[in-house]
Amino acid sequence: MAYIIFNTLLLCACLVSCVETIVPSNIPHFENGLTRNELIKIYFLEGLKYSEIVLFLFCYHKIKISVRQLKRVLQGLNLRRRPTQYSPVHVIINIIKEEMRVSGECIGYRSMWKRLMKDHGVVVKRNEVMQIMRHLNPNATEQRKAHKLKRRIYSVRGPNYVWHIDGYDKLKPFGFCIHGCIDGYSRRIMWLEVACSNNDPAVIAKYYLDCLKHFQLAPRILRADNGTENSRVSFLQPLFRYHSTDSMAGIKSFMYGKSTANQKIEQWWGTMRKLGIHWWINFFKDIWDSGLFDIQNMVIKECVRFCFMDALQTDLDRIAQHWNSHDIRRQKRYVELPSGKPDVMYFVPEITNGYDFKTYVNPDDVNMCIQLYGKEKETCSAKFKEIINIIKPGVRVPVHPYEALLLFIELNDILETYLS
């Protein structure tokens, strides 16, 4: 039986290798020069199944290994799905309390369990995390059980068929503009960035071009809203799809539409809010209500950006990384929708009977477009950074919200002295 399963996996892997003539080097989080056992350990800690690890090793590293041999290697590395020893309960409770003080307040026990394992190295059962969270904050548990709005069925034939891009403006009153992109098939987050503005066409173009440069491919369709911020990507996408021969080549590869119709990214904004951004909204509202933050004062607004931008971007990176490696459960009512980890569905779509619709791009062309049409995002104005270097030389911008708050209070007091 195991021999049949392994042959099936090899056949699937061969299909992938036939589609890709060049082995991509853009597997997330991984660097070249790693040994086989190191790669196995990384994939195992990412939560991949045995069959998925075998596929990734063969497709992207040209390492042939059977499931039985993989289990022997994992046993030698002392890696088990069901560990024999678990972390102390008091340590787990303290970490959960600390996470629930910030954006962890919004997430469920499965996401919290993933944070404990990946970010803190804690070994714990998911049921224990559920019981602890229910005991620490029963109201939040009940809120997460509330029913959600029903949405229409959205289906795509494979990864890179359509990317959805959009801006998130819930934090815009406080000076933070988020922009993101999601793959319609795998629901993988392609980028999630925060800056001073998400209305600058050059900044949006830079997000898009950096993603193309990283993956060395362009999607078949790029879906965006009717906004001036998408004016540059509206001609860059058809430029990279100009020589394609499919029905969506050239100008058809970019699609405008209403914001409410850009369903996949709009739906994920609600998920992102539950994964931690809701805490940030309340956090900045508390600062505003305390009288420390005057929205009309541009100097104080620049100070807020300077102090909190890195902390917010760090949390966004963590949200995107955890989302891309979590399991999307199969829906009973809509069995035709693919399920699994977004990373796996994106890089090995054959597992879910999908087909990759990517279009390879020339890195030199992408670099030239970055120089001509791209612009680096800004955390705050250059003049304000010069002021901070004068009043507090060598200041280090923290990546923890409460450390950033202490820095903001300190700089705010200094600025008030200079402005008064």
pLDDT at 153: 64
The answer to whether 244 and 250 have CB atoms below 8 angstroms apart is yes
Helix (H, G, I), strand (E, B), or coil: what is residue 181? Answer: strand
pLDDT at 69: 95
pLDDT at 420: 59
Phi, psi of 48 (to 5 degrees): -75, 150
pLDDT tens readout for residues 309-363: 999 999 999 999 999 999 988 877 666 678 899 999 999 999 988 999 999 999 9
Q: Is the pLDDT of residue 32 over 70?
A: no
Phi, psi of 244 (to 5 degrees): -70, 155
pLDDT at 335: 62
pLDDT at 263: 82
pLDDT at 147: 59
Helix (H, G, I), strand (E, B), or coil: what is residue 166? Answer: strand
What is the rounded CA–CA span in Å between residue 252 and residue 220? 9
Q: Is the pLDDT of residue 81 over 60?
A: yes
Average pLDDT of the residues of the chain: 86
Q: Is the pLDDT of residue 150 over 70?
A: no
Helix (H, G, I), strand (E, B), or coil: what is residue 91? Answer: helix
The answer to whether 229 and 204 have CB atoms below 8 angstroms apart is yes
Q: Is 27 left (phi over 0), alpha (psi -120 to 50) or beta?
A: beta
How large is the average pLDDT for residues 126-134?
93
How large is the average pLDDT for residues 116-140?
90
pLDDT at 149: 46
Distances, alpha carbon 319 to alpha carbons 124, 188, 217, in Å = 21, 12, 24
pLDDT at 394: 83
Query: Is residue 56 within a helix (H) or strand (E), and if so which, with residue range?
Result: helix 50-61
Beta carbons within 8 Å of 354's beta carbon, 6+ residues apart: 157, 158, 159, 185, 186, 338, 345
Of 344, 2, 357, 306, nearest in space to 162 by CA = 357
Q: Is the pLDDT of residue 392 over 60?
A: yes
Percent with pLDDT over 70 in the chain: 89
pLDDT at 79: 86
pLDDT tens readout for residues 84-124: 788 999 999 999 999 998 888 888 899 999 899 889 988 89
How large is the average pLDDT for residues 15-33?
44
pLDDT at 298: 87
Give bridge partners of residue 184 from the DSSP assignment: none
Neighbouring C-alpha atoms within 13 Å toward the C-beta of 143: 10
What is the rounded CA–CA span in Å between residue 116 and residue 45? 12
Predicted TM-score of the model (pTM): 0.80
Give bridge partners of residue 340 from the DSSP assignment: 328
pLDDT tens readout for residues 237-260: 999 999 999 999 999 999 988 776
How large is the average pLDDT for residues 191-217?
95
Give bridge partners of residue 166 from the DSSP assignment: 180
Confidence of residue 215 (pLDDT cuts 50, 70, 90): very high
Q: Beta-carbon neighbour count of residue 41 at 10 Å? A: 16
Q: Is the pLDDT of residue 4 over 80?
A: no
